Amino acid sequence: MISFFRYLKGYVRIRLSGYSPERFLNLCKARHIIIWDLESCETSYEMNLSIRDFRKLRPLCRKARARVLITERHGLPFFLYRHRDRKMFPVGILLCVLFLYTMSLFIWNIHIEGNQAESTDVILDYLASEQILHGMPKSHADCKEIQSMLRIHFPDITWVSAEIRGTRLLIRIRENRDVEAAKPEKTEDTPRDLVASRPGIITSVLVRKGVAQVKPGDSVDTGTLLVSGAVEIRNDSGEVTDIRYTRADADVWARTEYVYQDSFPLSHEEKHFTGVCRYGLSIQLGNKRFSREPKAPGPDFTRLETEYQLRITENFYLPLSLRKIRLEAYELYTDHYCPSQARTLAQANLNEFLGNLIQKGVQIVENDVTIDIGRNSCASSGTIVVLEKLGIPKNLTEGATILE
Amino acid sequence: MGLKEQMSDALQLPKDLTLGAVITTITGKHEAYVENYMSLIEYTETLIRIQARTCKLEIHGAQLEIAYYTNDEMKITGLIEEVKYC
């Protein structure tokens, strides 16, 4: 600590020689001049003393007939004097501090955590519409207001906390995850019939509501009424007294056929990349775009652009983006599938078709697709017999009463 | 024992104030603090002679250095071999 103050005030190391150095030291003591690191080297003494005390030495030197020589200079005053021509240096330091301080008055990062249903972008867009933006002054951000704004605008946010920490605006959100589960299931109560979606032969009928109009073994066409939503009420003598309409509900399974046809030519064009690439760069600043387009590497080429948008912190995107352009040349040439390749390809196409069917929930019963490889093309055709649920709802006319 | 000493003994006064006695505090072999002295008579690397009010103090040693020298106190560092009152 003492040495720090000594450095701040500045001190010199002097060499003392002459008639009576001890007398000089005693004179210093009498005048309250503080001396430290006194060293005797043969005929002379070396010691440190502060600049202010050094100015008082002249009469003492005369009195003690001593000679004083400055050997070293230490401390801030000397440092400043040495660097007096570098005035811009401290100015730069000052400006830097000022810049940091000014920048710390703004919000540079909005961090949102805990959101699952509402995406960060949605929340940021909403905040931007309420003038809560990256780069806004910290003093304009009222955390309590942000909290209540978010709670009102997003009803499923049950708890929100906004906090400014440094230059970050931290928003923590707790969402009510039961909102969707709590929603009552919409029950449609309009009366309806069930009609066949495809032609087929009925294999089984299971009616939960309504009156079955078909029985197993019947063959139906598209649009045939399967289950009627109109229930006739009869009296004791079997006469229809009233018709009640209900929402028909049934599982009607039928055996249906799908015709599969696929063909492709054996000769096909294939791209062969030559490996010649050309690169370019484009910079987009706001709406302006500066680009250096690469030369075309050949007659045919693919173009790939990769965009990197510059951003500060996690969510603050700058209106400046870099785009890397890559052109890669290729040559087109025609190739012929050999029979085994063609068969594999046809089989793959068929499997994809069957996979799609199975995903729809049908059972495949028969599959007699044959693959023919001709001279120029490969054709596969046949029928696929499946078991599937027929029955698509068809609403009845309005105004009908519902049978409960 | 003089009258002054007897009185300061009886009144339990510190002797450095009443008699102007020199105070020497030596820590180990390498450090010595001297208080209540008048002046420096001689200073070399091997000998420091100090004039106190009632006597002279001689410190013999090697590589003796005065770390600081103020009106009230001085600190001597180096290898101290002998302390003599004369």
Residue pair B85/B23 in contact (Cβ under 8 Å)? The answer is no
The Cα–Cα gap between A16 and A228 comes to 125
- With an 8 Å Cβ cutoff, is A2 touching chain B? no
Q: Is B64 an interface residue toward A (CB < 8 Å)?
A: yes
What is the pLDDT, as a whole number, of residue A178?
A: 67
Question: How many CB atoms are located within 10 Å of the residue B62 CB?
Answer: 10
Tell if the pTM clears 0.80, that is, is over it: no
CATH code linked to domain A2-82: 3.30.70.260
Does any CB of chain A come closer than 8 Å to the CB of residue B9?
no
Of A359, A351, A338, A335, give the one whose Cα is nearest residue A384: A351
Using only the alpha carbons of chain A, give its radius of gyration.
46
Which amino acid type is present at position A199? Answer: P
Q: Where are the domains of chain A?
A: 2-82, 109-180, 192-254, 261-266+337-389, 269-332
Give me the pLDDT at residue B31, please: 94
Computed on alpha carbons and rounded to an integer, the radius of gyration of chain B in Å comes to: 14
Which residue type sits at A350?
A: L
In sequence order, what are the residues at sequence separation of 6 or more whose Cβ sits closer than 8 angstroms to the Cβ of residue A188? A247
CATH of A109-180, one of 3.30.930.10, 2.40.30.10, 3.40.640.10, 3.10.20.310: 3.10.20.310
End-to-end CA distance of chain B: 18
Instruction: Determine the Cα–Cα distance for residues A9 and A54; give it in Å rounded to an integer.
Output: 12
Position A23 scores a pLDDT of: 86
* Residues in contact with A4: Cβ distance below 8 Å, sequence separation at least 6, in sequence order: none
For chain B, which residues make up each domain, given as ranges?
20-85
Comparing CB atoms, the residue among A21, A35, A41 nearest residue B69 is A35
Task: Give the percent of chain B with pLDDT over 90.
Answer: 50
Q: Do A22 and B39 touch (CB under 8 A)?
A: yes
Residue spans of chain A under pLDDT 70: 178-188, 397-404
pLDDT digits (tens, 9 = 90+) for A300-326: 889 999 988 888 777 788 888 898 999
State the smallest CA–CA distance between residue B81 and chain A in angstroms: 18
**B65 interfacial to chain A (CB closer than 8 Å):** yes
Topology of domain B20-85 in CATH is Immunoglobulin-like (2.60.40)
Tell me which chain B residues have a C-beta less than 8 angstroms from the C-beta of A25: 39-40, 43, 69
When mean pLDDT is compared across A183-192, B38-47, B56-65, the lowest value belongs to A183-192
Other CB atoms within 10 Å distance of the CB of residue A161? 14
- The residue of A16, A24, A38 whose CB has the most chain B CBs within 10 angstroms, and thus the best one to mutate to test that interface, is A38
> Which among A26, A34, A39 is the nearest to B39, CB-wise?
A26
Cα Dmax for chain A: 153
Please report the number of interchain residue pairs, chain A to chain B, with beta-carbon separation below 8 angstroms. 52
Q: What is the DSSP string of A184-249?
A: PPPPP---EEEE-SS-EEEEEEEEEESEE---TT-EE-TT-EEEESEEEEE-TTS-EEEEEE-B-E
pLDDT at B15: 77
Using the beta-carbon criterion (under 8 Å), do B71 and A30 form an inter-chain contact? yes
Residue A52 to residues A2, A25, A49, A345, B42, Cα–Cα distance (Å): 16, 17, 8, 98, 26
Sign of the torsion formed by the C-alpha atoms of A125, A131, A136 and A138? negative
Smallest CA–CA distance, residue B55 to chain A, in Å, is 17
A36 with B39: Cβ contact below 8 A: no
8 Å CB contact of B65 and A45:
no
